[in-house]
A = this chain, B = another copy of it.
Amino acid sequence: MIETPYLLFLGDAPDQLAAKVAIGIKDWRPENAVGQFRMEGCKADLGLKDMSLTEAREAGAKTLVIGVANRGGVISQEWKKVLVTALEEGFDLASGLHNLLRDEADLAAVAEATGRKLHDVRVPDVDYPIANGIKRKGKRCLAVGTDCSVGKMYTAMAMEAEMRNRGMKATFRATGQTGILITGDGVPLDAVVADFMAGSVEWLTPDNDEDHWDLIEGQGSLFHVSYSGVTMALVHGGQPDALILSHEPTREHMRGLPGYQLPTLEALRDTALHLARVANPDCQVVGVSVNTQNMSEDDAKTYLAAIEADMGLPATDPFRFGSGKLVDALAAL
């Protein structure tokens, strides 16, 4: 659990895209973002107040979150100067970088001396149990994709926001680095040891109120041969009551696998539902979430209408048209 709120470290980001994690925090948990810290040459700007470390501490920030990718996988000396000072000023540090904060001898030593925490969210810090398959109270929704990176996290985040607006009980459950940094908690599922994957998902989505929904962040795809085992652990460990199908219609092949075509939404529906019912016989497919960023608005609307007609399921692009239809479907279950 990462202490909030955050000061968002943008470093010397070469462009806005490099600050993806910080943007996610600002979009989805604005109350966690006290301000931004930018170094000379930083080309990203979240529109938050620029703060010094001292100012951010006075404003209540507890953790400096590295909200930007580093160049060449190296934590530079310029960054180090800020990070070490932040520890000395009383901040914890949190990072989803491939190279770990804890592996930097200077950061580790200063954190030790100051009693501050280094959160490397790429690696698990919990001994997860083996999944026991016992039915848990409360409701769970999982987005499953025809492919990786088709908008599963965005869909779950958008649904959580809409549900909270409606006064429904809903919690986004992060299973990847970005989601963990945004919410301050979660399971870095792709880094969990095989035997404990499903158990980590059970741990992440415990018993809850009967009318509470966990919106579980999906990973990979049952049809992506590199990562399908991770997806399977979500389908069985998550015991979803509701599945959302996620798709990106213009993709020409599976991400990173030129020889592999995307499955149809119908194939995904049948496969995912069949497998999900092993863990939860009442599971339903409730809607379709389409990432239409590469389509005109007219084409997107036509495409979504065709899915609704063909599949009899509500279909939307949560980014473009909101997630209301999907939340309606959950509420109707």
Cβ of A72 under 8 Å from chain B:
no
Q: Which one of A20-28, A37-45, A80-88, A192-200 is at the interface? A: A192-200
Checking B131, B191, B231 against A225 with a beta-carbon cut-off of 8 angstroms, the contacting residue is B131
Decide: B194 and A191 in contact? CB cutoff 8 A: yes
A193 to B124, CA, bound (A): 11
Q: Which of A247-293 contact B (CB under 8 A)?
A: 254, 256-257, 259-260, 263, 271, 274-275, 278-279
Cβ of A318 under 8 Å from chain B:
no
Nearest-neighbor residue (CB-CB) of A238 within chain B: B225
**Interchain nearest-CB distance for A235 vs B (Å):** 8
In the complex, chain B residues whose CB is within 8 Å of the CB of A254: 133
**Interchain nearest-CB distance for A236 vs B (Å):** 4
Q: How large is the interface on A (under 10, 10 to 19, 20 to 34, 35 or more residues)?
A: 35 or more
Decide: B130 and A226 in contact? CB cutoff 8 A: yes
Decide: A229 and B226 in contact? CB cutoff 8 A: no
**Interchain nearest-CB distance for A290 vs B (Å):** 22
In the complex, chain B residues whose CB is within 8 Å of the CB of A257: 132-133
Decide: B230 and A236 in contact? CB cutoff 8 A: no
Cβ of A228 under 8 Å from chain B:
yes
Q: A residues bordering B, Cβ < 8 Å? A: 130-135, 189-195, 197-199, 222-223, 225-233, 235-237, 254, 256-257, 259-260, 263, 271, 274-275, 278-279
Given contacts A190-B194, A260-B278, 13 further A-B contacts (CB under 8 A): A133-B254, A190-B193, A191-B195, A192-B193, A193-B194, A194-B230, A195-B226, A198-B225, A198-B228, A199-B226, A228-B232, A228-B278, A229-B231
Please list the 8 inter-chain residue pairs (A to B) with the smallest Cβ-Cβ separation, ordered nearest first: A229-B233, A225-B236, A229-B229, A190-B195, A131-B226, A232-B232, A229-B232, A133-B225
